[in-house]
Amino acid sequence: MAIRNIINESDELLHKVSRPVTEFNERLWQLLDDMAETLQKADGVGLAAPQVGVLRRVFIMDMGDGEGVIEVINPEFVEKKGRQEDVEGCLSCPGEYGITKRPAYVKIKAQDRFGKDFFLDGEDLKARCICHESDHLDGIIFKQHVIRMLDPD
């Protein structure tokens, strides 16, 4: 495993749409393992492949709830309900936070590292994280959902 560099919002790669994963092999597994180590070192909640310079539809999350790292490949939204407004930040925009509007509940269909389909749902922070990381796969940064940026002081 290796820690990868997290690119910042000024890198045009972060504003591009990622391609689906079609090969579930050691190269993908290495990416996932590296992303997990990178996320842990950065002390974040989620990390998308574009943030480490890879334009593939992959993200990981670790909610700190004992469930560990959740690997999400080729996610597709199945359901979104409700509304929530809360503080959001991004590892690619260090030190910047804003209030965003997101669904209160989401459900996605995705694949695991072996290509097996699964469903993942979440409320509150987990729903925000799923939306935030999925946005990265479409070249969208959280600031595009911000109602109001917060003062850094």
Per-domain residue ranges for the chain?
A: 12-149
pLDDT of residue 65 exceeding 80, the answer is yes
133 is catalytic: yes
- Between CA 33 and CA 105 the distance in angstroms is 28
Q: Which of 76, 96, 123, 133 is catalytic?
A: 133
| pTM summary value | 0.96
Tens digit of pLDDT for each residue in 88-141?
A: 999 999 999 999 999 999 999 999 999 999 999 999 999 999 999 999 999 999
Tens digit of pLDDT for each residue in 33-47?
A: 999 999 999 999 999
Q: What is the DSSP letter of 134?
A: H
Superfamily name with CATH number, domain 12-149? Peptide deformylase (3.90.45.10)
